[in-house]
Structure 1
Amino acid sequence: MYVVKRDGRKEPMMFDKITARVRKLCYGLNELVDPVKVAMRVIEGLYDGVTTSELDNLAAEIAATMTTAHPDYARLAARISVSNLHKNTKKSFSEVMTDLYTYVNPRTGKKAPLIADDVYEVITKHKEILDSTIIYNRDFGYDYFGFKTLERSYLLKINGNIAERPQHMLMRVSVGIHLDDIDSVVETYELMSKKYFTHATPTLFNSGTPKPQMSSCFLLTMKDDSIDGIYDTLKQTAKISQSAGGIGLSIHSVRATGSYIAGTNGTSNGIVPMLRVFNDTARYVDQGGGKRKGSFAIYMEPWHADIFDFLELKKNHGKEEMRARDLFYAMWVPDLFMKRVQEDAEWTLMCPNECPGLPDTHSEEFEALYTKYEKEGKGRKTVKARDLWEKILESQIETGTPYMLYKDAANRKSNQKNLGTIKSSNLCTEILEYTSPDEVAVCNLASIALPMFVKNGEFDHKELFRITKRVTKNLNKVIDRNYYPVKEAENSNMRHRPIGLGVQGLADTFIKMRMPFTSDEAKQLNQDIFETLYFAAVTASMEEAKKDGPYSTFKGSPISEGQFQHNLWGIKDTELSGTWDWEKLREDVVKHGVRNSLLVAPMPTASTSQILGNNECFEPYTSNIYTRRVLSGEFIVVNKH
């Protein structure tokens, strides 16, 4: 039996070589990891003419299936895969980037560079320092699930073959953000490579490429309640989805079923057929060309006359033409509705075409307008508020949606409340931003890996402060370097410059500190972590404003009047930990301004936490052993603590 080497040579099969290769990669792992066991199972799968690459893949898959015996098997699987990738790729960062830059499409024979001109220029100019900064051994720090995720979607490929190593990707991302500010490039690379933080998935996909679309989420409102408005909005969602952005769309202003259409003297078909079109767009235009599915969240207020149909859209039974199951749904709930539910009172459904202004008002103003329309008898239908409430709960039990967001609270506590009424959140509900027909709100995200800050059983707040400042400055550069799929997104992002700092691995941090997830000391640490995060972000944003001036709509915002986020919730500075000097920061902010309207947004970190091997965002562990099905395959996840 023969085996085919990477350079095409044939060699007789030697079983000892397989065992030796696996054994060599077991250094430092638990003694329960048995290289002979893995090698024996690899030998069972041999055939004549197998390539060494295929042998490595087989060995890695076999080791991964043994994860339930000991979590270190997943590390062994990753080491085999990484070692295989290293043997199949070039070592030098600048050489790999040259290959990507000089790529020629084999079908058309035309140049199709995968790296942007300005980025490539910087790489060639500084190649010595960039090449020597990279530490390839850090690739061996990924677990199997994380590495496979990188391999499936993140590492750039040439003709379907992976060209980059994980360290190359991190350096590409760093250069894409900072260009010729080499000190910042090296610092960003170091921190990402040591797994202190990660930029969001679209930043990792696209930074340094000819179309660097690095933002994660986009929030839209309907351009207009007309054919032009609806299809213009549809085109926007398609362009955003194509560039790997997730979408939150508010449809409160779209007229209800049976509403009169002046242009045709006909009546409207309502939101269901319209949402089926959006549903098919989400399916057709996936993110970044097959890297992940297009995802839209649709927001609606409970007074809309089509609300009962809206709640049925995701259900698995019923008429097919009344369903749009690939979208996510969210309620944008005014306080008045909850009051009526509490009082078991009546609730009136209305059409936004017949009762204008409801989506554009909140709190007392909304209540006044809504009750005025009720008195004037403009409603379509009156129902018991609790009947609608039960329908919402029933839909949540069956489908997991709609998400519940509270319109009045969101508007009263937002630092963007000086811009107008906020109409929705985004796909994963971590940011609340102002949208209008000429502004598509955007958010650039990064998440900080909290377990990295546990040193000798203590949590290092000073280090968290330092790294949060670095990440805040990075995200400001991302806003400036970003490619915007639609003009309206650029308008919004340049005016308000919102950024989203999140966390991952909070549950891992508690475990490392030996704190039960629901204990009082865990609650206290959680508050202290987020206080440090917010304080560092405001500080960095204020320092950026000293340099470049505050964001353009800063005047009139709560923070311009010295109101921090916790103050809007009625929490005084004195109720906080006392570690940080909020009073001094307040003076600086009022004097110099801040560069960003929004700063902290704890996002789900679904893919990036897999890569870094942390538990998702601030969630508890769902179980100590479970299987996750994702695009790159099915993986056993074991609580490694």
Structure 2
Amino acid sequence: MSMYVVKRSGKSESVHFDKITSRVRKLCYGLDPKYVEPVVIAQKVIQGVYPGVTTVELDELAAQTAASFATQHPDYSILAARISVSNLHKMTNKLFSEVVTAFREYVHPKTGAPAPLISQEVYDVVMEHRDTLDAAVLHDRDFEFDYFGFKTLEKSYLLKLHGKIAERPQHMLMRVAVGIHLGDIPRVIETYNLLSEKYFTHATPTLFNAGTPNPQMSSCFLLCMKADSIEGIYDTLKDCAIISKYAGGIGLSISNIRASQSYIRGTNGTSNGIVPMLRVFNNTARYVDQGGGKRKGSIATYLEPWHADVFNFLDLRKNHGNEMERARDLFYALWIPDLFMQRVQGNGNWTLMCPNECPGLSDCWGEEFNELYERYEMEGKGRKTIKAQSLWFAILDSQVETGTPYMLFKDHCNRKSNQKNLGTIKSSNLCTEIVEYTAPDEIAVCNLASINLSKFATPASDYSGETGNFDLNKLKEISEVVTRNLNRVIDRNFYPVEAARKSNMRHRPIGIGVQGLADAFMILKIAFDSPEARQLNKDIFEAIYFGACNASCELAKDEEPYETYDGSPASQGILQYDMWDVTPSDRWDWAGLKERIAQHGMRNSLLLAPMPTASTAQILGNNESTEPFTSNLYNRRVLAGEFTVVNKHLLRELTSRGLWTSSVRNRIIADGGSIQNVPEIPKEIRAVYKTVWEISQRIILDMAAERGAYICQSQSLNVHMAEPNSSKMTSMHFHAWKKGLKTGT
């Protein structure tokens, strides 16, 4: 039976093994010929050929085959991406301006109505500067993505026409740059180049929506219940639904909602408490997904531990029990005052209260909270008095079973906030890195971007900890660019609800995070828990904070300070590290910066907020955020199937030393991705490639606190315990609290 292939033009021709080999070989430039063998890929592809197979299918098969060889050498992942990218390039228009025109002129095939995917404003800018922008797009940079990064873009990020991807990764990045800066072409080109060179990335909603008719570019929205009434609850629910529709993650404070059995004056009845209400929010999160099926709606609800319904709150995600008392699609967090931690530590009593009977507790913090809470206790207004530790152990049980509630420390969040002049901060967000003021008429918003730390590390030649280099000056410059960009995002953003626009324009908070901290340490050949890594961890965040403060001050000079700047700690010469009683290094001119801030102010109330970076780190090929690697070997699932992936830094190290043998590979697989029990691997390499399970979690918390002095919001933080028990978990939580962390674990 003769085998023939159908080309993209629709013509048929015979299948030629040599042609397949030649196509793969052309894409192997710069890859290690000792490991990457085009003939082997071609042989596997030929086995999957059938009469009438398309060239598109052949390319996909070749890419999947190359990806399946990635456990032999990381260059195979690069080759897999190149095949996929080359395939996309053959199916898409090259010129950015023509792609934008097609998006602008799109007509919905079923309704026949115009359905433009690009805003008029962005289209006009692109048409006016089409030659400049078309020339600036460097398509070869698409080949810099690894296979899993490219597949992530392909699945969710690149815009489609008629169900087919019509945008290349470089087009997307230019769309984002124009969407942010519009007619400021030098800034557009600067942003495009830094994005495409992978120095930083904007957050997922910005990549999704920049340049579109409804450019909702914000990641996080924080709300408090508008009122403890049917009107207040359902107004808040509607806001949550609208925000979810436009791909926003939500943090919601519910501490002011009356507890069950509380009196309702309007009907002379009693309240059912927070559980039935949260089931309604749960169903809304399920129904309203983010942007029509891209991501399920995400809502984290925050409750203070004095609330009388707290035990029911802890059960909401559990797998057993009465279904009418479960709401498993929400996430849960506790907003914990210091007083509760002190009572647990001293094995004291704890009084549960209803906010309807003991008002004002969620509106104050610190000594003011302590006095009010203890006054209600003395007056006998509480519902029930229990041992603080009985609630504590219920919290730990819930964490072991469900992973929630997250624990955030209310007093640390308020004490160390540059927004403390606005009022009491009542919650964080889904990922626990955003800490912003909310009010019934203000929905806090945060626009995010993350800096790729692996870009600033020059590889070390040995394991002494002294031969690599990390470019802190360049890092500071990138932080300044990101700060300017996020300010433009605030200005250009589409706000789903007016209360969000009002808040963002008044306070202008931004959230700069990082990804690839663990990758940077590996490039520098230093262990995650080494003194060198701990020092660099501090230096990195000091540089980012200095750059962000400097750029925010420059913007205030050119425009004006944010509206509520007066009365803030920054307006009194107090920056984040001052609130931690930390003295910064003398690398940067902090005294000069404070003088400039005193003169010009700041454009933003908040600047740093290291977020999880789950999707964008995959796009750029980094480990997430500030996290250590959880394993040196893991499975990645994409639409084409599941692939085994090996830590690329380790793989390069072992292949260069001739240590990547089948016996070593099998031993690592048997040990679940650990290399600590592989004697062939030198000790200094094993130290650098410890997984999170092999690093002291106390050190993880210490490093979070050490960089925390330069983080004016908070930080997403995971702690890993193979065999958690109440003693270990109590020790961990109290260590985080005593270290002054805003986000516990």
TM bin (shorter chain) = over 0.9
> AA paired with 1:611?
I
Tell me by how many angstroms 1:471 deviates: 1.0
Tell me by how many angstroms 1:43 deviates: 1.7
Q: 1:632 to 1:490 in 2, by over 3 A?
A: farther
> AA paired with 1:18?
I
Q: Within 5 Å, which residues of 2 pair with 1:96-495? A: 96-455=99-458, 457-495=468-506
Contact 2:353 2:382 in 1 (8 A): yes
Tell me by how many angstroms 1:233 deviates: 0.8
Greater Cα shift, 306-315 or 22-31: 22-31
Residue 519 of structure 1 pairs with residue 533 of structure 2: no
Residue 584 of structure 1 pairs with residue 598 of structure 2: no
Q: 1:492 to 1:633 in 2, by over 3 A?
A: farther
Greater Cα shift, 104-113 or 55-64: 55-64
> AA paired with 2:501?
E
Greater Cα shift, 518-527 or 18-27: 18-27
CA distance in 1, matches of 2:589, 2:20: 60
CA distance in 1, matches of 2:325, 2:98: 54
Q: 1:357 to 1:630 in 2, by over 3 A?
A: farther
Q: Within 5 Å, which residues of 2 pair with 1:543-582? A: 543-571=554-582, 575-582=583-590
Tell me by how many angstroms 1:460 deviates: 1.0
Residue 535 of structure 1 pairs with residue 546 of structure 2: yes
CA distance in 1, matches of 2:60, 2:482: 36
CA distance in 1, matches of 2:47, 2:258: 65
Between the aligned residues of both structures, percent identity stands at 68
Measured against aligned partners, the alpha-carbon deviations of 1:351-373 in whole angstroms (never above 9, x if no partner) come to: 11111101001111111111111
> AA paired with 1:344?
N
Q: 1:634 to 1:272 in 2, by over 3 A?
A: farther
Tell me by how many angstroms 1:48 deviates: 1.5
CA distance in 1, matches of 2:321, 2:30: 56
Tell me by how many angstroms 1:134 deviates: 0.8
Tell me by how many angstroms 1:34 deviates: 2.2
1:4 aligned residue (3, 6, 14): 6
Aligned match of 2:635: 627
Greater Cα shift, 426-435 or 283-292: 283-292
Tell me by how many angstroms 1:235 deviates: 0.9
Tell me by how many angstroms 1:333 deviates: 0.3
Tell me by how many angstroms 1:378 deviates: 1.1
Q: 1:480 to 1:2 in 2, by over 3 A?
A: same
CA distance in 1, matches of 2:60, 2:272: 53
Contact 1:61 1:77 in 2 (8 A): yes
**SS of the residue aligned with 1:60?**
helix
Contact 1:149 1:632 in 2 (8 A): no
Q: 1:635 to 1:237 in 2, by over 3 A?
A: farther
CA distance in 2, matches of 1:558, 1:386: 36
CA distance in 1, matches of 2:355, 2:429: 22
Contact 2:218 2:448 in 1 (8 A): yes
**SS of the residue aligned with 1:424?**
coil
> AA paired with 1:62?
T
Aligned match of 2:17: 15
Contact 1:92 1:131 in 2 (8 A): yes
Tell me by how many angstroms 1:18 deviates: 1.7
CA distance in 2, matches of 1:212, 1:460: 34
1:614 aligned residue (589, 609, 622): 622
Contact 2:148 2:638 in 1 (8 A): no
Q: 1:635 to 1:240 in 2, by over 3 A?
A: farther
Greater Cα shift, 390-399 or 18-27: 18-27
> AA paired with 1:600?
L
Greater Cα shift, 167-176 or 463-472: 463-472
CA distance in 2, matches of 1:600, 1:371: 35
Contact 2:256 2:355 in 1 (8 A): yes
Contact 1:3 1:13 in 2 (8 A): yes
Contact 1:152 1:632 in 2 (8 A): no
CA distance in 1, matches of 2:196, 2:642: 26
CA distance in 2, matches of 1:632, 1:519: 39
> AA paired with 2:368?
E
Contact 2:42 2:62 in 1 (8 A): yes
CA distance in 1, matches of 2:640, 2:178: 27
CA distance in 1, matches of 2:499, 2:518: 38
Tell me by how many angstroms 1:12 deviates: 1.8
CA distance in 1, matches of 2:434, 2:390: 30
Q: 1:470 to 1:639 in 2, by over 3 A?
A: same
Tell me by how many angstroms 1:44 deviates: 1.9
**SS of the residue aligned with 2:115?**
coil
Structure 2 alignment gaps of length 5 or more: 460-467, 650-745
Tell me by how many angstroms 1:33 deviates: 2.0
CA distance in 2, matches of 1:181, 1:173: 13
Tell me by how many angstroms 1:65 deviates: 2.0
Q: 1:256 to 1:173 in 2, by over 3 A?
A: same
Tell me by how many angstroms 1:61 deviates: 1.6
CA distance in 2, matches of 1:65, 1:513: 28
> AA paired with 1:317?
H
Structure 1 alignment gaps of length 5 or more: none
Residue 35 of structure 1 pairs with residue 38 of structure 2: yes
Contact 1:219 1:248 in 2 (8 A): yes
Tell me by how many angstroms 1:216 deviates: 0.6
Contact 1:148 1:632 in 2 (8 A): no
> AA paired with 1:269?
N
CA distance in 2, matches of 1:145, 1:404: 33
Contact 1:145 1:635 in 2 (8 A): no
Aligned match of 1:601: 609
Contact 2:458 2:524 in 1 (8 A): no
Contact 1:465 1:536 in 2 (8 A): yes
> AA paired with 2:597?
V
**SS of the residue aligned with 2:648?**
coil
Q: 1:630 to 1:554 in 2, by over 3 A?
A: farther
TM-score by length of 1: 0.98
> AA paired with 1:510?
F
Number of positions where the alignment pairs a residue of Structure 1 with one of Structure 2 = 638
2:50 aligned residue (47, 50, 60): 47
Contact 1:335 1:406 in 2 (8 A): yes
Tell me by how many angstroms 1:628 deviates: 3.7
> AA paired with 1:106?
P
> AA paired with 1:436?
A
